[in-house]
Amino acid sequence: MKFFVDSADVAAIAELNDLGMVDGVTTNPSIILKSGRDITEVTKEICELVDGPVSAEVVATEADAMIAEGRKLAEIADNITIKLPLTWDGLKACKTLTDEGRMVNVTLCFSANQALLAAKAGATFISPFIGRLDDINLDGMELIEDIRTVYDNYGFETQILAASIRSANHMKEAALIGADVATAPPNVIKAMANHVLTDKGLAAFLSDWEKTGQTIL
């Protein structure tokens, strides 16, 4: 499973990138707001840092305007992925932009039918939002499973990009189901390293080591 970082925090992305943990980056208007930075400036910086796809989202709601914004965002760098919302206009823009050979990430997906339409429109990535479904007492992971089944049934090449990931457990479940990509905030990716028994075991080893009176260096 590829790891994308769902953030525009350049320092946090760089830290993970140095460890080889970053296969791409996703942003959205809320993430740009949180960064406090200019969209073009911060996205360019991220694109220079990371080799993989960097999603930048349009804010227009009508297809022609989405296409114009998408083309403008794509000028930032070669690894830009244009992020479009899963609306009828978004699907029209997806078809046009992917026909031009551009990468497109169709976002705000909440059903397998929406994912099927995005694949038909040529999407490079589909972003089902797990956490937001869980928030309303639905099962976000069930959606990832359904999309995996539908795409595998027909050999669609659109990559499932599990989004709105809120916990390390979400990462594990997405990997078990076979999501192609999971995008998560840096703290969630780092939390995957945590285990209470690792902490307990390390404390015991260090305590015993101290009793030996030895040093390694």
Instruction: Give the active site residues.
Output: 83
Contacts of 93 (CB under 8 A, 6+ apart): 58, 63, 66, 67, 70, 84, 104
Residues 145-164 that bind ligand G3P (CB under 6 A): 163-164
Give the nearest distance from C-beta 208 to ligand G3P in angstroms. 42
From residue 80 to residue 119, the character string flagging contacts with ligand G3P as x (rule: CB under 6 A) and all else as - is ----------------------------------------
Tell which one of 131, 145, 180, 190 touches ligand G3P (CB under 6 A): 131
- Residue 34 or 200: the one with the smaller Cβ distance to ligand G3P is 34
Which of the stretches 88-96, 126-134, 141-149, 190-198 binds ligand G3P when contact is defined by CB under 6 A? 126-134
Residues 132 and 135: their CA atoms lie apart, in Å, by 5
Could you tell me which of 138, 129, 47 has the C-alpha nearest to residue 85? 129
Which of the stretches 61-69, 128-136, 150-158, 190-198 binds ligand G3P when contact is defined by CB under 6 A? 128-136
130, 144 Cβ separation under 8 angstroms: yes
Query: 47-64: string of b/e by CB count within 10 Å (b at 16+)?
Result: beebebbbbbbbebeebe
- Residue 82 or 96: the one with the smaller Cβ distance to ligand G3P is 82
Which of the stretches 84-92, 124-132, 171-179, 192-200 binds ligand G3P when contact is defined by CB under 6 A? 124-132
Tell which one of 23, 63, 119, 129 touches ligand G3P (CB under 6 A): 129
Using only C-alpha atoms, what is the Rg of the chain? 20
- Residue 17 or 26: the one with the smaller Cβ distance to ligand G3P is 26
Residues 43-62 that bind ligand G3P (CB under 6 A): none
- Residue 74 or 106: the one with the smaller Cβ distance to ligand G3P is 106
55, 88 Cβ separation under 8 angstroms: no
Q: Which residues pair with 57 in a beta bridge?
A: 83
Q: What is the DSSP letter of 129?
A: B
90: helix, strand or coil: helix
- Residue 120 or 166: the one with the smaller Cβ distance to ligand G3P is 166
Paired sense of beta strands 54-57 and 80-85, if any: parallel
Contacting residues toward ligand G3P, per CB under 6 A: 6, 26, 28, 127, 129, 131-132, 163-164, 166, 183
